[in-house]
Structure 1
Amino acid sequence: MPISVIIPVFNGEKTIKETIYSILNQTFQDIEVIISDDGSTDSTLEVVRNISDSRIKILSYPNAGVSASRNRGIYEAKGEYISFIDADDLWTPDKLELQWQALENNSQAAVAYSWTDYISESGQFIKSGRRIKANGDVFSKLLVINFLENGSNPLIRKEALEKVGSFDESLSSSEDIDLWLKLSIDYEFVCIEKPQIFYRTSMNSLSSNLKNMEATSLKVIKRAFRYPKAHNLQHLKKQTISNFYKYLTFKAIESIPETGRNMTTMYFLWNYFKNKPADIMDKKLMLIIAVKFLFPKISQRVIQFKKTAFT
């Protein structure tokens, strides 16, 4: 069997059916779908069991986190290739076929990835993700920015996963980029220049989750720069940290309720400025964006003043 698709899920009753059908309806049909339930307490298992397809395999364990849930799926996988998708994300119908073909045509590559678009909780398009093309040895580029963007993206040769190891279950976040970096040390990547992942964003994130993400991701960054392959890339470390804090700044603006947004966002923005290489225009842009979202009344007054002063 060429491809095993692993869906880690915890209380995904609202979205998992749509996610499963986006896999079952792939143009590439030689697949198994492993649903790794992580101790759901809602009707997730009932929803899944009502989908009749011989390619579906259901695992159910006590809650242990997304990394453990994915790892359980890897252990049971029979495919030559493995892909992961979160229980609220979607794929275009040709996602697996194009990624599989890319790896079949590039024997030196072990990871195929595509581009991502972001959708709302109701499935509406929000924005395009990064459109970064990186082929071959991508370690230095991946060190600076996570251009795969999410854990629902790549198709990976199982033998490569078996060599580098599975997801680090001690990490409460950033476990996906941690694994992508380990893969990029020894293996080449190939890019499908097409948005094929629809990543569902939630407005329910809390600042405490972002602070946890900050601590865990900085741990992953420090670990990555200790790899022997990063020995001559230490000059990129500040840029990596700056890019990460830029991401956190926008994440805070988008997801934290207004009452707790300002202090958290300003903290992330300050760390972005502190680590950002000398790029004045980018700093100005970030500051304008922060003022617009953090102090909307002030920014509206400035805009209104400009309109009246120059007319």
Structure 2
Amino acid sequence: MPTISVIIPAYNAEKTILSAITSVQKQTFSDWEIIVINDGSTDGTVQKLASISDQRLKVFSYPNAGVSTARNRGLDRASGDYIAFLDADDQWTVDKLEAQLAALQHHPDAGVAYSYTHFIFEDKEDSFIEDSHAYQGNVYADLLLKNFLHSGSNPLIRKEAILSTGNFNPCLSYGEDWEYWLRLAAKWNFVLVPKPQILYYHSPYSASNQNLAILESSMLQTIDQIFAAAPAYLQPLKRRSLSCTYGGLHNDFVQ
């Protein structure tokens, strides 16, 4: 069995899926499997996937059900001792899996390893690396304020931590990854790899670039849910969390 299972949910990803998979194939750590969950794509995603000759790649097609269900379906298929998720429009640097795996091996108390994110915009002058924090250990309170993992493409997670946490919530349409990281953080320590290893491409076609009002409504639902699960002494953080979240949304739309 592979050490790491990489789960890629893909919906109409014909423009980016090959680049995402290539970034996995180029990893310095090679004992992995890729599980692509084709989430009802109607473009050429399946044809692009069929062009790849790699026995470590497995493709499963289902009717469209959203990214959370796609990730959960990937988890059902995963056989690795560690799990990584990669969105079909993101990429990794070549040492991402190796560095995060080493971090978890050196910190047996940690269930999640994460890295810094390089945000890449069409206008390269807008691109930047988010490395302004160094949260480690019990990060629950810090993660309540802001999703400093930034996307579903960031962490490497012990299978044991996944099993103790359960599945992604399919009822959340935005911020579902943040809510899941928080459930992990409630039970497990996090460890940081202080390098920009996630390449997050800001695309006008991405799900995160929808109508601002829809995004705000969806994120409010997510914040209400995550604070409903938070202990009483952390409830005062909700106002600051709302401020950070809405500020981030508006900054994205300005860019």
Change (3 A) 1:221 1:130: farther
CA distance, structure 1, for counterparts of residue 164 and residue 151 of structure 2:
22
Work out whether residues 130 and 147 of structure 1, in 8 Å CA contact, stay in contact via their aligned partners in 2.
no
RMSD: 1.9
Partner of 1:244: 245
Change (3 A) 1:30 1:226: same
Partner of 2:27: 26
* Letter paired with 1:26: Q
- Judging by fraction of residues, say which structure has more helix: 1
Change (3 A) 1:128 1:170: same
Partner of 1:52: 53
- CA drift of 1:219 comes to 1.9
Change (3 A) 1:207 1:80: closer
Partner of 1:211: 213
* Letter paired with 1:225: F
- Judging by fraction of residues, say which structure has more strand: 2
* Letter paired with 1:223: Q
Q: TM-score of the superposition, structure 1-length normalised?
A: 0.77
CA distance, structure 2, for counterparts of residue 26 and residue 204 of structure 1:
27
Partner of 2:224: 222
Structure 2 counterparts to residues 17-96 of structure 1, below 5 A = 17-96=18-97
Between 3-12 and 204-213, the greater mean CA deviation after superposition: 204-213
Residue aligned with 2:228, SS: coil
Partner of 1:179: 180
Q: Deviations over 1:169-191 (max 9, x none)?
A: 11111100010000000100000
Partner of 1:113: 114
Change (3 A) 1:209 1:165: farther
Work out whether residues 8 and 86 of structure 2, in 8 Å CA contact, stay in contact via their aligned partners in 1.
yes
Residue aligned with 2:191, SS: strand
Partner of 1:3: 4
Change (3 A) 1:34 1:238: same
Change (3 A) 1:125 1:33: farther
- CA drift of 1:221 comes to 1.6
Unpaired segments ≥5 residues, structure 1: 255-311
Q: Deviations over 1:210-269 (max 9, x none)?
A: 222222222222222222x53211221111111111112212212xxxxxxxxxxxxxxx
Structure 2 counterparts to residues 84-233 of structure 1, below 5 A = 84-120=85-121, 126-204=127-205, 209-227=211-229, 229-233=230-234
CA distance, structure 2, for counterparts of residue 3 and residue 129 of structure 1:
26
- CA drift of 1:131 comes to 3.1
- CA drift of 1:43 comes to 1.1
Change (3 A) 1:172 1:82: same
Work out whether residues 37 and 73 of structure 2, in 8 Å CA contact, stay in contact via their aligned partners in 1.
yes
Q: Deviations over 1:92-148 (max 9, x none)?
A: 000000001111111110000000011235999722224321110000000011110
Matched residues, percent identical? Answer: 46
Unpaired segments ≥5 residues, structure 2: none
* Letter paired with 1:196: Q
Residue aligned with 2:231, SS: helix
Aligned residues: 253
* Letter paired with 1:190: V
* Letter paired with 1:224: I
Between 204-213 and 151-160, the greater mean CA deviation after superposition: 204-213
Q: Which has the larger radius of gyration?
A: 1
